[in-house]
Amino acid sequence: MKFGINTFLFTSPFTNASTKLFPKFKKWGFDTVEIAIEDPSHIDPAHVKRELDRYGLVCGTVCAAMGPDRDLRGDAKSQKTGLAYMTALLDQMVVLGCPSLIGPVYSAVGRADAVPADEYKKQWATVVKNLKTLCKYAEKRGRQVCLEPLNRFETDFINTCDQGLKMIKDVGSPALKLHLDTFHMNIEEKDQAAAIRKAGKHLAHFHACGSDRGTPCNDHIDWKPIAKALKDIRYDGDVVIESFTTDVKVIAKAAAIWRRMEPTRDEIAVKGLRNLHRVLGK
pLDDT at residue 252 is higher than 60: no
What does the chain come to in residues? 282
Annotation says 148 is catalytic: yes
pLDDT in tens, 64-89: 999 999 999 999 999 999 999 999 99
By the 8 A CB rule, do 105 and 145 touch?
yes
When pLDDT is cut at 50, 70 and 90, the band that residue 257 belongs to is low
Q: What are phi and psi of 174, to 5 degrees?
A: -65, -15
Mean pLDDT of 246-271: 70
The reported pLDDT for the residue numbered 247 is 57
**Active-site residue, selected from the candidate residues 38, 51, 154, 242:** 242
| pLDDT band at residue 263 under the 50/70/90 scheme | confident
- Contacts of residues 252-260 at CB distance under 8 Å and 24 or more positions apart, as own/partner, are 254/109, 254/110, 255/213, 256/153, 257/213
- For the chain, the domain total comes to 1
Q: What whole-number distance in Å separates Cα of residue 80 and Cα of residue 101?
A: 18
> How big is the CA angle at 150 (ends 96 and 134), to the nearest 5 degrees?
45
In this prediction, residue 214 carries a pLDDT of 84
Q: What is the CATH number of the domain that holds 16?
A: 3.20.20.150
CB atoms within 10 A of CB 278: 12
For residue 246, the model assigns a pLDDT of 54
Domain of residue 123, residue span: 2-280
The strand pairing partners of 111, in sequence order, are 155
Mean pLDDT in residue range 97-115: 95
pLDDT for res 251: 61
Percent of the chain whose pLDDT exceeds 70: 94
Active-site hit among 34, 38, 51, 148:
148
| 242 given a catalytic annotation | yes
Does position 213 have pLDDT exceeding 70, yes or no?
yes
Question: Cα angle at 47 between 42 and 50, to 5 degrees?
Answer: 145
**Per-residue pLDDT tens over the stretch 161-172:** 999 999 999 999
Assess whether pLDDT exceeds 70 at residue 21: yes
79: helix, strand or coil: helix
Residue 157 neighbours by CB under 8 Å, 6+ apart: 73, 106, 107, 111, 120, 123, 127, 163
